[in-house]
Amino acid sequence: MTMKKTLLLLLLPASLLQVAYAQKSPKKTTSGNPIAEGWYADPEATIFGKEYWVYPTYSDKYDKQVHFDAFSSPDLVNWTKHENVLDSSNVKWAKRAMWAPAIVKKDNKYYFFFGANDIQSDKAYGGIGIAVADKPEGPFKDYLGKPLIDKFYNGAQPIDQFVFKDTDGQYYIIYGGWGHCNIAKLKKNFTGIEPAAGGKAFKEITPEGYVEGPVMFIRKGKYYFMWSEGGWTGPDYRVAYAIGNSINGPFKKIGTILQQDAAIATGAGHHSVIKVPGKDEWYIVYHRRPLTETDGNHRVTCIDKMTFDKDGLINPVKITNEGVTANKLK
């Protein structure tokens, strides 16, 4: 740049100077990984209207995990942060460790499921709760005034819930830590669990290797069940899956599809899945730990493509620094 041009820029008003530099900024062509600044884990990804949404855990010490932020995008590349969509001031019984949200839209309301307090036994108070709002960005407020699930059924810690709507319209909650996974029917108004035949409302569907973080979706009539394995603070954290003919399985492990790449990041796991409406296009949204980090809470939220082979098996996911290109919803 010549001295004359430099002096001219210095004389420009600040607003015009910003425009001058903005015009030289390269246009963003991929999401990049992570998709947002800050420590975020356990992302729940979904679509509302013409926007993609991601709701992660705020990844910090348990006593500081008392709020949730959310992120929205029209195209998977440009993300907007929505701060404090829910915090413990709106959930009086939640004191710490608010984790791993799940969200669904039903009857023009948005229901936000979350784990809280990291209970270690039935004597502690906490578990899986629900908050509700009129908009996807909240603000969300406690729906029940108490946990929806507050006990250990079949050995499953009440955390890491996933809410699934089956083809008949019935909503299910699939959840569990400590190596056990349960499934149960939700009441129509989400005020409780529907009693099952024989009085046992919680059915265990734990596959081999399951640790936590269940996810389910349907593709071409088959039920894909996914989960996280390994230790969440270690490099062996990963995602495995099974395929069944019904929501209750049985689910036999097929293999691992998401794991660390020693050249990019470690501890890739606890994910969710997005399907583009009307297309056989899929994305996996997950967290991982940057190579520079050793703190267990230093996790970031990322996105990459997820594909299938000709037999319907999930291809191993390649984790990238670039992320994905734009895919605007119609």
Q: Which is the catalytic residue, given 69, 137, 160, 212?
A: 212
- SS3 label, residue 190: coil
Q: What does the buried/exposed string (b/e) look like for 258-271 if buried means 16 or more CB atoms within 10 Å of the residue's CB?
A: bbbeeebbbbbbbb
The verdict on whether omega for the bond into residue 207 sits within 30 degrees of 0, i.e. cis, is no
Q: Are strands 222-229 and 238-244 parallel, antiparallel or unpaired?
A: antiparallel
212 is annotated as an active-site residue: yes
Q: Which is the catalytic residue, given 42, 44, 87, 142?
A: 42
Nearest to 99 by CA among 206, 46, 177, 151: 177
C-alpha–C-alpha distance, residues 53 and 73, integer Å: 7
- Cα diameter, the chain: 85
Phi first, then psi, for residue 7 (nearest 5°) are -65, -35
Active site amino acids? 42, 212
